[in-house]
Amino acid sequence: MKTISFGIAGAALLLAAQLAVAATPNAAVEAVQMPAWVQRGNANIPLTPGMQLNDRDQLRTGANAKLLLKMREGSLVRLGENGTLLLDQMAEGGDRVFAAALNVLQGAFRFTTDLVQVRRRRNINITIATATAGIRGTDLWGKATEDRDIILLIEGKIEVQRGQAQPVLMDQPLSLYLAPRGAPALPVAPVDPKQLEIWSAETQIAPGAGAAQRGGKWKVIAASVDTQADALKLYDALRAAGYAAEIRPAMRAEKLIYDVRLAHLPSRAEADALAASIRGKLGVAEPRVSR
């Protein structure tokens, strides 16, 4: 009986592990400094922490906005303000190699694999407008602008190709690939660490910027209104502007009201910063912070 019991328990544990792997999304939002959207077909949906992302999702950030994603195999993807990123071909094969194609159409971008995840196998191609870098576990920063494409290798090894030109192998830390629009790419050159600090700030969500993140418990109540129609009007205005508003009915003084709120703020300081950023805008007069 003990052997049978152990077998059942082992099978249950294996099934639970398989279900957990199956439930892991190929990409999900970890944190967002709004405004930011995902375009799916003809719909523009505000991004919120925990949202699962799919192939052909096009992510956009507005002014002063940033985005942090976590990929299935643990790597992190950051997108700076006024950026556009297309996700595609995301899948983990039977050989446990995670594959994806990330197309940076506009703005600054960073791909990072931490020390814990660096041994995980991946086959990720990142296209910065006109130049494509093949990733096998590394750290890079890139930016697509109107006049040039930039790829900065921070750590690891990548192979970069632009159009039909010969691929360029980059394996030295802090090396730069610069490709002016309408002209050949420049020779790979080293970059000063101070320049890396400046560029990294374009994709890093700074403390106190009012970013929502997975697991955050604080909220900003944009307004409390008496009617569902008024709540929907403010809700629609916020979401159209890239803020993931929610409506929550509540009883106060034996009266039904509707709270229009922004959730998932990790601290009072972050909630205060978000409240300050929307005060006097989009129909928000005097937002309140709550937990």
CATH code of residue 33: 2.60.120.1440
Task: Please report the pLDDT score of residue 120 as a whole number.
Answer: 66
Residues 118 and 90 in one domain: yes
Residues 30 and 88 in one domain: yes
Q: Which amino acid, one-letter code, is at 286?
A: E
Residues 191 and 222 in one domain: no
Task: Please report the pLDDT score of residue 56 as a whole number.
Answer: 97
pLDDT of residue 85 exceeding 60, the answer is: yes
Residues 6+ apart with CB under 8 A from 21: none
Residue 46 pLDDT level (bands cut at 50, 70, 90): very high
pLDDT of residue 284 exceeding 70, the answer is: yes
Asked if residue 16 is part of any domain, the answer here is no
Q: Based on the structure, what is the number of domains in the chain?
A: 2
Residue 6 pLDDT level (bands cut at 50, 70, 90): very low
Residues 161 and 224 in one domain: no
Buried b (16+ CB within 10 A) or exposed e, 213-239: bbebebbbbbbbbeeeebbeebbebbb
Strand locations in 27-129, DSSP E? 27-33, 36-40, 43-46, 52-53, 58-61, 66-71, 76-79, 84-92, 98-112, 122-128
Cβ neighbours, 10 Å, residue 278: 20
Asked if residue 5 is part of any domain, the answer here is no
Asked if residue 271 is part of any domain, the answer here is yes
Domain range for residue 143? 26-200
Task: Please report the pLDDT score of residue 117 as a whole number.
Answer: 52
Q: pTM of this prediction?
A: 0.89
Asked if residue 8 is part of any domain, the answer here is no
Residues 32 and 166 in one domain: yes
Contact criterion met (CB below 8 Å) for 127 and 142: no
Asked if residue 10 is part of any domain, the answer here is no
Residues 130 and 269 in one domain: no
pLDDT digits (tens, 9 = 90+) for 66-75: 999 999 989 9
Of 142, 176, 200, the last residue of a domain is 200
Please give the share of the chain, as a percent, with pLDDT higher than 90.
81
Tokens for 65, please give them.
């906005």
Taking alpha carbons only, the member of 64, 60, 73, 63 closest to residue 26 is: 73
